[in-house]
Chain A
Amino acid sequence: MLPNLGYGSLVITLIVSIYAIVSAVIGERKNLYKYVESARLALLLTFPLLTLTVISIVILLVNQNYEVQYVYNVTSSTMPLYLKVTALWGGQAGSLVFWAWLMAAFGTAVTLRKWDRDLDLLPWVIIVSSVTLVFFLIMIIAFENPFIRFWTLPSGGELVAMFAPAGSQLIHPFDGRGLNPLLRHPGMIIHPPMLYLGFVSFVIPYAFGMAALITGRKDDRWIRLTRRWTLVAWMFLSIGLILGSRWAYDVLGWGGYWAWDPVENAAFMPWLSGTAFLHSVMIQEKRGLFKRWNMILVIFTYSLVIFGTFLTRSGVLSSVHAFAQSAIGPMFFIFIGLSFIISLAFLIKRWDELRSEGIMTSLLSRESLFLINNLLFIGILVVVFWGTVYPLISELFTGQKVTVGPPFYNSTTGPLFVGLLLLMGIAPLSAWGHSTWKTLGKALWIPAIGSLILLVVLLVSGVRSIGALIGLTVASLAAFVTIYEFWRGMKARHKRSGENYLVALWKLTVRNRRRYGGYVIHLSVVFMAIGIIGIELFQTETQGRIAPGESLSLAGYTVTFKNLAEFDVADGRNVARAVLSVSKNGKDLGELYPRRDFYYDSQQPMTIPGVRSTVEDDLYIILVNWEQISSMGATFKVFHNPLINWLWYGGFLLVVGSFIAAWPDPEKEIELVPSRILRKETGKLVSKP
């Protein structure tokens, strides 16, 4: 029986993970390696065990075993195979299993690395990973079991339970209810896994941070060990956010991509603290500063990751993305609270030992600018957090529920984002330790002239929006500085080695992956800023009812309604599809097909826009309404979204930059310290004198 197999292996995983915690604690207390090794092997076992659970769910989904409640809730016979498979994360129970599975995978990956130099950290990394895993397993087994089934009792009553009540029989529904149509979109198929990958991989830097804190290692070893983890986690989280925006843009049919909705904010907050962390660890590596701050950031990021999972899964705050509601909310809250308090307690205990090794001296030094960068990121985080919980706070103190909408977020975070863009233009040119206006100015004046020229061009071409002028000028400065940095490096290399420019550029990047990968990411942020400025400040729209042959005009485009057809499709949809021809300044640009899909299984309509995308803009048409006799006409809403595609291009570039920065360096293999190898042979974790 597949449900029993999957459930059984869930329970065994829980037992094994609890064993891992106990054994690691004993090993650490007694300073005996064999116990820790046993814990490590136990953690290794969780991945194949949970894989078995995941395979069970997928087979149940694909085989249409509707007697299983989860399968009944998220699939139906008309859904194509790939949607049945990805329905694994289409509902609450399945997505929690998926979370736990990823956690087990990362726990396994991290315990498989060479630990010779860092055996003292190993037990704590195992403990932190396992505790997180155990929490999720308990949530699944106790509250969100994906394997519970429908039963009829001998008395005629019906019941949902894991195991057969005495004398009862299974109920086999004919068909399931089907995945929410809003989730049947390619972006939605990869968006949740990306977000979860990002969430879960941030657990690893936290685990190392805690290990360093508990063992009292003051060096920045934990940061060096997890640099790549952090970067990869950050990349997945970024991809998840961008894909989520893309999904909202394509599916929700309102012409936007981001609504500062609580669930969006929940995914955005760990990204903000994670980005701050990614920058501030560099200061600790280079200058030995900000040790406490980095600990605080990694603790915050971990808490926000769990909080993010909790918000999407609890239904505490109403949101268009919260597709599940359940009773697990309070449990999440307790877990977050406990882990946060315990982490802070350890930090306070080590507070004095984590003193900075030096001090900052110059306001314009790299570390000082990084500090400002951190303040701004955390400032945005505070703004977003404040806006998200403001309804709860105001109700608590005034008894009156007050919310803040997108205008609050836009006008509060706007200046802070501009500040960050400005820093992105200046910081790469400033030196560690000491920088003055004079040295900075020397490097900055060429790119700055470029930005001023752009500003003049914008003014001449009639742009009068203050926000756009400031935003684009500052963004272009960051872009020019970055390109200028590449150019300077390439030229210097070309001069020194005689390589041609392309080879020089390639080698320059490959030799300093971290630095130039970071620059590519900076460029990608500029791209995204351009896209966001474009749609936020220059979006225009029109709407109207037109008969066949009539047209609507917007931003130089003319859309002409040709015809409309309504028909049923084999996968259980009724489709109403309009055909519109698009032309710009008299030139024919082809056709667009906005449509409305009606899903019979869930009785839910869905509006799919017709979109024409180019580098400069999107023409985005929604079919609003139509008369039964199509000759009567139909109503359309047309959006003109300038530059929006730069947001998605930026997303691609971000991935490229992350790969460059995270790619392993073969030349810098870490040498083994003999004294530490000895430890392993003696069976001790820490060699005591």
Chain B
Amino acid sequence: MQDSTLTSPAKGSQKKFVFGGILIIAAIILLIITNTRAGAQYFLTVDEIIERQEEITGKDIRVSGAVLGETIEYDTENLIIKFEVAHVPGDNKEIDAQGGLALVLHQAVNNPDANRIFVVYEGVMPDLLQNEAQAIMTGKIGEDGIFYASELLLKCPTKYEEAIPDQSANS
């Protein structure tokens, strides 16, 4: 370090910075790669889960489906929620093409031919868990074909939908 001063920069003295920088960047990349592998969750639809059940059993899965209101069972003693969800497309564009999320959810719930899976979730009853809500769940599929959700997010599209009000009076 003696030979390098501000006025006469030696090329060699810069090497350690390049080396150190590369080391840090490599460490960050390594962290990202290993943790992406460990933390990856497959985003599947109900149809895909049924199709590929054996292959994905035990893996972390994220699935979205339309909640069937009358199937909701809530054990308030042990905080266990059971319900069924029906298949909805996983792609936003596909949903839009079919007339928007609210309509797609409505049709999924009322279509007896749509694929359905059982869901078991342990926890507090979410405010938005109701008929025709979109449930976005994270968890694992068991050997029994039941989806054990560890995380449950809900969306009710009708709440934010923009529409012309029906309760109106002409001036």
Contact residues of A with B, CB < 8 Å? 66, 69, 72-73, 150, 152, 158, 160, 169-175, 177, 180, 253-254, 315-316, 318, 320, 323-325, 358-363, 368, 371-372, 375-376, 379, 382-383, 386, 390-391, 400-405, 407-408, 411-412, 415-416, 433, 543, 545, 596, 602-607, 622, 624-625, 635, 637
CB contact between A172 and one of B16, B156, B171 (< 8 Å): that residue: B171
Among B9, B39, B160, B169, chain A packs the most CB atoms within 10 A around the CB of B39
Contact of B21 with A411 in the complex, beta carbons under 8 Å: no
CB contact between A412 and one of B24, B35, B169 (< 8 Å): that residue: B35
B77 on the A face (CB < 8 A): yes
Contact of B42 with A401 in the complex, beta carbons under 8 Å: yes
Q: How far is the CA of A625 from the CA of B124 in the complex (A)?
A: 8
B43 on the A face (CB < 8 A): yes
Contact of A171 with B168 in the complex, beta carbons under 8 Å: yes
Question: Given the complex, which residues of A lie within 8 Å of B146, measured CB to CB?
Answer: none
A318-B136, A358-B9, A607-B127 given as contacts; is B32 within 8 A of A386 (CB)? yes
Question: Given the complex, which residues of A lie within 8 Å of B41, measured CB to CB?
Answer: 402-405
Q: How far is the CA of A433 from the CA of B9 in the complex (A)?
A: 13
Residue of A nearest to B20 (CB): A363
Contact of B170 with A171 in the complex, beta carbons under 8 Å: yes
Contact of B76 with A635 in the complex, beta carbons under 8 Å: yes
Contact of A543 with B79 in the complex, beta carbons under 8 Å: yes
B97 on the A face (CB < 8 A): no
A150-B165, A625-B125 given as contacts; is B76 within 8 A of A545 (CB)? yes
Interface residues of B in 1-39 (CB under 8 A from A): 1, 4-6, 9, 13-14, 16-17, 20-21, 24-25, 28, 31-32, 35-36, 38-39
Question: Given the complex, which residues of B lie within 8 Å of A402, measured CB to CB?
Answer: 40-43
Contact of B162 with A69 in the complex, beta carbons under 8 Å: yes
20 additional contacts, CB 8 Å, given A386-B36, A404-B41? A150-B168, A169-B171, A170-B171, A171-B168, A172-B168, A175-B167, A253-B124, A361-B1, A375-B28, A379-B25, A401-B43, A402-B42, A403-B62, A404-B39, A412-B35, A416-B28, A604-B127, A604-B156, A624-B124, A625-B76
Contact of B6 with A160 in the complex, beta carbons under 8 Å: no
Contact of A622 with B162 in the complex, beta carbons under 8 Å: no
Residue of B nearest to A315 (CB): B92
B74 on the A face (CB < 8 A): yes
Instruction: Count B-side interface residues using an 8 Å CB cutoff.
Output: 53
Interface residues of B in 134-171 (CB under 8 A from A): 136, 138, 151, 153, 155-156, 159-160, 162, 164-165, 167-171
Among B1, B76, B169, chain A packs the most CB atoms within 10 A around the CB of B76
Could you tell me the distance in whole angstroms from the C-beta of B16 to the nearest C-beta in chain A? 6
Residue of B nearest to A395 (CB): B43
Could you tell me the distance in whole angstroms from the C-beta of A19 to the nearest C-beta in chain B? 34
**A-B contact list, 28 entries, CB within 8 Å:** A72-B165, A73-B162, A150-B164, A170-B170, A171-B168, A253-B124, A359-B6, A371-B21, A375-B21, A379-B24, A382-B32, A400-B43, A401-B43, A402-B41, A403-B41, A404-B35, A404-B36, A404-B39, A405-B41, A412-B31, A412-B32, A412-B35, A416-B28, A543-B79, A545-B76, A624-B124, A635-B76, A637-B124
CB contact between A169 and one of B39, B40, B155, B170 (< 8 Å): that residue: B170
Contact of B39 with A433 in the complex, beta carbons under 8 Å: no
A172-B169, A180-B160, A376-B24 given as contacts; is B36 within 8 A of A359 (CB)? no
Could you tell me the distance in whole angstroms from the C-beta of A320 to the nearest C-beta in chain B? 7
CB contact between B39 and one of A73, A371, A405, A625 (< 8 Å): that residue: A405
Q: Which 7 A-B pairs have the closest CB atoms?
A: A408-B39, A401-B43, A379-B28, A173-B165, A605-B127, A359-B9, A412-B35
Contact of A174 with B168 in the complex, beta carbons under 8 Å: yes
Question: Given the complex, which residues of B lie within 8 Å of A180, measured CB to CB?
Answer: 159-160
B69 on the A face (CB < 8 A): no
Could you tell me the distance in whole angstroms from the C-beta of A426 to the nearest C-beta in chain B? 15
Q: How far is the CA of A545 from the CA of B36 in the complex (A)?
A: 39
Q: How far is the CA of A73 from the CA of B32 in the complex (A)?
A: 42
A320-B153, A400-B42 given as contacts; is B124 within 8 A of A543 (CB)? yes
Could you tell me the distance in whole angstroms from the C-beta of B70 to the nearest C-beta in chain A? 19
Contact of A173 with B167 in the complex, beta carbons under 8 Å: yes
Question: Given the complex, which residues of A lie within 8 Å of B92, measured CB to CB?
Answer: 315-316
Q: How far is the CA of A390 from the CA of B92 in the complex (A)?
A: 16
Question: Given the complex, which residues of A lie within 8 Å of B4, measured CB to CB?
Answer: 361
Question: Given the complex, which residues of B lie within 8 Å of A412, measured CB to CB?
Answer: 31-32, 35
Question: Given the complex, which residues of A lie within 8 Å of B21, measured CB to CB?
Answer: 371, 375
Question: Given the complex, which residues of A lie within 8 Å of B74, measured CB to CB?
Answer: 625
Among B13, B28, B44, chain A packs the most CB atoms within 10 A around the CB of B28
Contact of B32 with A383 in the complex, beta carbons under 8 Å: yes
Residue of B nearest to A378 (CB): B28
Contact of A174 with B43 in the complex, beta carbons under 8 Å: no
Could you tell me the distance in whole angstroms from the C-beta of A608 to the nearest C-beta in chain B? 11
A383-B32, A391-B43, A545-B77 given as contacts; is B14 within 8 A of A359 (CB)? yes
